[in-house]
Structure 1
Amino acid sequence: MFVTFSCKQDKANQVETVETEDVEVVELAPMSDDVMETAVIYEANIRQYSPEGTFDEFTKDIPQLKELGVKIIWLMPVFPISETKRKATGGEDSKFASDFPEDEQGKYLGSYYAVTDFTKINPEFGTIEDFRKLVNTAHENGIYVILDWVPNHTGWDHEWLKTNPEYYTQNEQGEVIHPEGTDWTDVADLNYDNQEMRIEMIEDMSYWLNEEGVDGLRCDVAGSVPTDFWEQAIPQLRNQKDIFMLAEAWEPELLKGDLFDMAYAWDGHHLLNDLANGDKNLEDLNVYINKVSNDYEDDDILMNFITNHDENSWNGAVKERMGDASQLMLAVSYVMPGMPLIYSGQEYGLDHRLLFFEKDSIPKTKGVAWDDLKKLGALKNTNPALNGGKQKATALQLETDNVNVLKYTRTKDGNSVTLLGNFSNEPQTFTIEEEGEFLDYMADEKIVLNNQSMTLQPWEYKIFVN
C-alpha cells in the first residue's frame, strides 16, 4: 500500500521524504497562495510525450521542466480506457475501432476520457509503481501533480454499468445514453441525481489524494456537472488535505468560496486566436480585460493558454492557428493576470496536430520555443509584477499613439513589467512615453528611454522591466 505523510510547513515547496517498508514517499509542503501567484502549469500527454508513451520516459524529463518555471504538472487521464465503443476517429462522423478490419483495430487506443476504472492505471503507460515514481520525482523537484478527472461520464466498460445502471442517465426505454448534445458516443453519461453515485465518485477522488500523494484534480467539463456536486465534493476533499483544483470551465460560480482555485480563460484563448488572425483588435482586448474584471472576483484565477490537447488535435498546432503572431500571443498569455499553461510539445515547437486516438509523438529538440518559455517562466516565477493568483499584481492597459500597438503594464511592490506589442503584420512606429533605465528582458539588454519614438516589426514584442 502506498502511504502518504503530510508535511505541514509554511515554507512553499519544502520537501519531506519518509521511508516505509514498501516505498519511499516524497511529500511537498501544502499548496500555498504563493505558489499559485507565480506558477506555470504543464499539461502532460503521457501517450504522446515520447515514442515509448510511458510514465518512465516522462519522469526522466521532470527535472528539465523546472527550467521552464513549471510548478504544477497536470497529467491527462491515467486510467484504463474502455474497449467497448472505443473511438478510432473524432467528429460527427466518428468511427469506433470495431468499424475497421480486425488487423487494424489494435492501433486505435481510444480516448483518455473513456474511463473504465477510476482507481486503476492504464497499462499502456506503465504500472502503479511507475506512477508513484513520477509523483515522487515531481515532488523531489518542488513540483505538484494533479490528475485529470472525468466526472461527467465513464467508458462503456466501467463496472458501474453492470452493478449500478441507475448511476447513469437513461432514455425513456431505460437505455443508458451518451452525453446529450455531443458526439461523445464512446462514453456513458452519469446521473448526478443519484446520491450513491456521488458518494462513490468522491471516494474514488479521495483515493488518489490520500493513498497516492496526488496534489489536486483538473476536472473535465466541470461546468456540465451540477454545481451542487462541487459544493458537496470539494469541501470534503479539502478537509482531507490541501489541494489545487482546476475546472475545465469558465463559469465564475465554480470559483466562489472554497470551490475551484482556477478556471479556463476560454474567452481569452479565443481572443488570442482572433487577434493573431486579424479578426479582432486591441479594443477587443480592452473589452475582454474589463469583462474579466467585472465577471470574476479579485481572488479568482484563470488559466491562460495558446494551446492544449483539444486545441492542438482538433483546431490546429500553434503556428497553424496563430502564424507569425505565435510568440507575441505566448508573451500575452504570460503577462496577463492568471497562470500560463504549457502543453506537451509546445516547449519543443510542436508544429503538427497530435493524433488523439492513436499513437503519435512530440519533437524533442530544444530551440527558440524552449528558450522563450525558459525566459518567460523565470520572469513569472520571480517578478511580483506578474503575480497572477489570489493577490494579483495591478494591471493597466495604456493607450499609445498607434492603434496597432499594445502597451500593457503590471505592477506590484515597486516592481513593474511592461509588454509592448505590434498587433499587425506591418511595421508600426509609436511614441513610448517613459523615462529612465529599463531591462529589455527578452534581449537581456539595458535600455534608456526618454519619451522617444520606437518601431516594432510585424508581431514583434518587447518586455521592459524596471
Structure 2
Amino acid sequence: MTLRYPNLLSLLAALLLITTACERRVDEEMLSTTTPETSDLAVRPNIPDWHKDAVIYEVNTRIYTPEGNFAAFQEHLPRLAEMGVDLLWFMPVHPVSEKNRKGELGSPYAVADYRAVNPDFGTKEDFKQLMAAIHAAGMHAIIDWVPNHTGWDNAWITEHPDFYTKKDGEITDPINPDTGESWGWTDVADLNYDNAEMRDSMIAAMAYWVREMDVDGFRVDVAHGVPVDFWEQAANALYAIEPLFLLSEGAVPAIVNNGAFVMDYGWEMHHTLNEIAKARGANRNVQTDVSNIARAEGEEMDEVTALAIDEQLAKQRADYKRGYKMQFTSNHDENAWAGTEFQRMGDGALAFAVLTATFDGMPLIYSGQESGIDRQYEFFKKDQLEWGDYKYADFYKTLFDLKERHQALWNGEYGGELKKIETSNDEMVYAFTREKNGDKVAVMINLSGEPQRVTLDGGDFAGTYTEVFSDQAMELTEGMAVELEPWGYRVLSK
C-alpha cells in the first residue's frame, strides 16, 4: 500500500501535540470561566436546598456486595430510599495505585488517576447510570476526593514531578509537620500546594466530575492538610458551575466559616461519646483510639459523664460561625481501626445513634449499620458485608422520617437550637428539646448501663407529645419523674 503522506509519523506526532494542547486549553478555559477574580464565599456559597434536612450514608463499594461494583450496589437503592437516606457518599471511585500499595487491593485513597474509574467497580458509563438511578430515586451523591496526595503510579509523578513535595531532592510520602517524620502513609506521595499549576489541575479534575459525571459534590479526604486559601480558590470555581455540597473530613473552623465547606466531621463529639461509653463500662474494645478530652482536663477516665457533651457543644458554637457537623457512631475509619460501634459503645450503641440522629448536625450511617453487623472489615483487601435481615433498618427509618417531617431537627441553622432539659441526674441522662416554626422534639437518653429515675427540673419542655418508637402519647410536666432503662431513650414529637 502506498502512503499518501510520506512523513506520516511526523503528522501523527503533530496531531498528538495539537490534541494535548486542546485538552490543556479546555482545562484552562474551564478554570478561567469558573474562578471569580475575588472571593465572595463569605457572602454566598452556592449550596443546594436539599441538604437542609438530609441524612448521609457512606458507601464502601468494595465490600458492599459479592461483586463489589456499581451495578450490584444499584440494586440496594430502593431500600436505602425507603429507609430515609437522602445523600450517598461513595468512598473513592478512582483506580488504586499498584506501586507501593498496601495489602492485596491497596488503599482506595491511593489514587492512580483522578479522571478514571476503578475497573473493579465498573466503567464510567456504569457510574453515570448509577448516578442517574440515584437521582431518579430522589437521592443525591457525593464522591470521596483525595487532594492531599496521590498514588505512586499516578501520571503526575512522571509528567509533573514538581507537583509533589520533595525531601532530600526526592518525592516523599506525607510528613507530619509537628515531628518532621512520616505519617506512615508510604503508599502515597505528598502533593505540593505551593505549585499553582498543580492547584489548577486539581480543580479542573474536580470540575470534570461535576460537569461530566454529574456528582452533587465531594467528601474531601484530609481537607485539613491542604491550605485554607486553596479551598477558597477551589470552592469559588466549583460553586460557579452549579450548587454543590462539600464535606470536609477534618474539623477546621476556617474552611467552614469562609463558606468553602458546608459540613465537617464531629470528631471531637464522636470521641466524647466513645469516652462516655468507656467510662460507663460499655466499651469492650481495649484498642479503641479515643480522645484525651477528659485526661487533658486532669480528670480520670471514669469521671467522664454526659456533661462532656455540653462542653463540646459550647466549644463548637464558639468556633463555628456557619455550617454544621456530621454526627456519627461509625464510619470506615472507625470500623477498620478503632472497632465497631458495638465494640466501642457496647449496649449503648443504639442510644448514641439516637443522639447523633437528633442532635445538632447531619447524621451519618456507615455501610452495614442498618444490619447491626458487629465486625471490623478489611481495608486493603476484598471483604464482604454480611447483610442478614437489616434488623435496624426500621430503627433508622423512624429517626430519619422524624427528621424529614420536623423542621426542628433539620441541619444547622435550618433546624432548631438544642436546649437542655435539666434533670436530677444530668451526669447520666442527657435530655434536650429542639424547636423550629412550631415543630418541637424532646429527647431523653440514659447514657449509662444502670436504670435511671430522674425528675425533669427545668427547661421549656412541657406539653403533650407522641413517643415515636412506641407511638404512645406522653405528657411532660415540670418536676415529673421519668424512668429510663439502661441505655434507654425516649424520642418525643410535638
1:252 lines up with 2:288 in the alignment: no
Question: Is the Cα contact below 8 Å between 2:62 and 2:68 reproduced in 1?
Answer: yes
How far off its partner does 1:343 sit? Answer: 0.7
1:32 lines up with 2:56 in the alignment: no
Who is 1:159 aligned against? Answer: 155
Q: How does 1:302-317 map to 2 (within 5 A)?
A: 302-317=325-340
Q: Distance between the aligned counterparts of 1:64 and 1:31, measured in 2?
A: 27
1:180 lines up with 2:175 in the alignment: yes
AA aligned to 2:470 is: A
Helix, strand or coil: the match of 1:70?
Answer: coil
How far off its partner does 1:253 sit? Answer: 0.4
Helix, strand or coil: the match of 1:402?
Answer: coil
Aligned identity (percent) is 42
How far off its partner does 1:365 sit? Answer: 2.4
Q: How does 1:108-257 map to 2 (within 5 A)?
A: 108-172=104-168, 174-181=169-176, 182-257=183-258
How far off its partner does 1:159 sit? Answer: 0.6
* TM-score normalised by structure 1 residue count: 0.87
How far off its partner does 1:435 sit? Answer: 4.6
Who is 2:420 aligned against? Answer: 397
How far off its partner does 1:355 sit? Answer: 0.3
Question: Is the Cα contact below 8 Å between 2:415 and 2:435 reproduced in 1?
Answer: no
Who is 1:14 aligned against? Answer: none
1:457 lines up with 2:485 in the alignment: yes
423, 426, 432: which is aligned to 1:408? Answer: 432
Q: Distance between the aligned counterparts of 2:216 and 2:371, measured in 1?
A: 27
Tell me whether 231-240 or 391-400 shows the greater mean CA deviation: 391-400
Who is 1:448 aligned against? Answer: 475
Question: Is the Cα contact below 8 Å between 1:349 and 1:363 reproduced in 2?
Answer: no
Q: How does 1:366-377 map to 2 (within 5 A)?
A: 366-377=389-400
Question: Is the Cα contact below 8 Å between 1:114 and 1:154 reproduced in 2?
Answer: yes
How far off its partner does 1:301 sit? Answer: 1.3
Q: State how many pairs are aligned.
A: 415
Who is 2:10 aligned against? Answer: none
Are the structure 2 counterparts of residues 261 and 73 from structure 1 closer, same or farther at C-alpha, using a change threshold of 3 Å? same
How far off its partner does 1:367 sit? Answer: 4.1
Q: Distance between the aligned counterparts of 2:386 and 2:47, measured in 1?
A: 32
Who is 1:262 aligned against? Answer: 263
Question: Is the Cα contact below 8 Å between 2:232 and 2:258 reproduced in 1?
Answer: no
Question: Is the Cα contact below 8 Å between 2:469 and 2:491 reproduced in 1?
Answer: yes
Who is 1:271 aligned against? Answer: 272
Larger gyration radius, structure 1 or structure 2: 2
* TM-score normalised by structure 2 residue count: 0.82
AA aligned to 2:356 is: S
Q: Deviations over 1:127-150 (max 9, x none)?
A: 111111110110001111111000
User: Which ranges of 4 or more aligned residues in structure 1 deviate by more than 6 Å?
Assistant: none
Who is 1:4 aligned against? Answer: none
How far off its partner does 1:275 sit? Answer: 1.4
Where does structure 1 lack aligned partners over 5 or more consecutive residues?
A: 1-29, 89-107
RMSD (Å) for aligned C-alpha atoms = 1.4
Question: Is the Cα contact below 8 Å between 1:407 and 1:420 reproduced in 2?
Answer: yes
Question: Is the Cα contact below 8 Å between 2:95 and 2:116 reproduced in 1?
Answer: yes
1:381 lines up with 2:397 in the alignment: no
Who is 1:333 aligned against? Answer: 356
Tell me whether 337-346 or 270-279 shows the greater mean CA deviation: 270-279
